[in-house]
Amino acid sequence: MDQTKRASSLELFFDLVFVFAITQIVSLIVHDLSWSGLFHGALVLAMLWWVWGHYTWMGNSIDLDPRPVRAAILISMAVIFVMAQAVPDGVRRRRRLARHRVSDHPARGLLAVLVRDRRRRSAAGGIAGVHPGQPRRTGRDRDRSLSGRRSAMVVARRLGNRDGLGWGCRNHGLARQRRALRRTPTASS
Amino acid sequence: MINAFGEAIVAVGAVVADVEPSSELAQLLVIGILGAVALWWAYFDRMEELWEGAMARATGQETGRIARDVYSILHFPMIAGVVLYAVSAEEIFLHPNDPIAGMVRVTLGLSLLLFLLPIVAATWRTVQSFQWERAIAAVTIAAIVFGSGEMGAKTVLLVTTVLLLGAMTIEYFRYRPVLAAKAAASRSASSGSHDERK
- A-chain CB neighbours of B190 within 8 Å are 183
User: In angstroms, what separates the C-alpha of A10 from chain B's closest C-alpha?
Assistant: 12
| pLDDT digits 0-9 by tens, A50-71 | 888 888 878 777 777 788 888 8
Establish if B197 belongs to a structural domain: no
Establish if B99 belongs to a structural domain: yes
| pLDDT digits 0-9 by tens, B26-44 | 888 888 888 888 888 888 8
For A23, the closest chain B residue by CA position comes to B7
Cβ proximity of A24 and A86 under 8 Å:
no
Q: A172 and B194: CB-CB below 8 Å?
A: no
* Structure confidence at residue A176 (pLDDT): 53
Strands (E) located in chain A: none
* Structure confidence at residue A53 (pLDDT): 84
Return the minimum-mean-pLDDT range out of A21-30, A117-126, B82-91, B180-189. Answer: A117-126
Q: Any bridge partners for residue B152, and if so which? A: B99
Mean pLDDT calculated for residue range A114-135: 42
Mean pLDDT calculated for residue range A75-88: 84
For B67, the closest chain A residue by CA position comes to A173
- Is A126 part of the contact surface with chain B (CB cutoff 8 Å)? no
* Structure confidence at residue B121 (pLDDT): 92
Residues 3-42 of A with CB under 8 A from B: 3-7, 11-12, 15-16, 18-19, 22-23, 25-27, 29-30, 33-34, 38, 41-42
Cβ proximity of B153 and B144 under 8 Å:
no
Mean pLDDT calculated for residue range A36-49: 89
pLDDT higher than 60, residue A3: no
* Structure confidence at residue B113 (pLDDT): 94
Instruction: Report CA-CA distances (Å) from A56 to A60, A88, A175, B79, B161.
Output: 6, 24, 10, 15, 32
User: In angstroms, what separates the C-alpha of A92 from chain B's closest C-alpha?
Assistant: 19
Mean pLDDT calculated for residue range A111-139: 43
* Structure confidence at residue B116 (pLDDT): 92
pLDDT bucket at B186, cuts 50 / 70 / 90: low
Distance, in Å, from the CA atom of B152 to the CA atom of B144, rounded to the nearest integer, reads: 12
Q: B83 and A29: CB-CB below 8 Å?
A: yes
Establish if B198 belongs to a structural domain: no
Range picked from A60-64, A74-78, B17-21, B185-189 for highest mean pLDDT: A74-78
Establish if B19 belongs to a structural domain: no
Establish if B195 belongs to a structural domain: no
Distance, in Å, from the CA atom of A99 to the CA atom of A96, rounded to the nearest integer, reads: 5
The overall average pLDDT reported for chain A is 63
* Structure confidence at residue B140 (pLDDT): 92
- A-chain CB neighbours of B66 within 8 Å are 176
Question: Domain range holding B90?
Answer: 2-14+24-189
Rg (CA), chain B: 18
Candidates A3, A22, A137, partner chain B, best to mutate (most B CBs within 10 A): A22
What amino acid occupies position A109?
A: G
Burial B168-185 (b: 16+ CB within 10 A, else e): beebeeebeeebeebeee
Is the overall model pTM greater than 0.80, yes or no? Answer: no
How many structural domains does chain B have? Answer: 1
Q: What is the ipTM of this complex?
A: 0.80
Establish if B194 belongs to a structural domain: no
Domain ranges, ordered by start, for chain A: 9-188
What amino acid occupies position A168?
A: G
pLDDT bucket at B114, cuts 50 / 70 / 90: very high
Cβ contacts of residue B52 below 8 Å, gap of 6+? B186, B192, B194, B196
More confident residue, A171 or B99: B99
Distance, in Å, from the CA atom of A136 to the CA atom of B61, rounded to the nearest integer, reads: 15
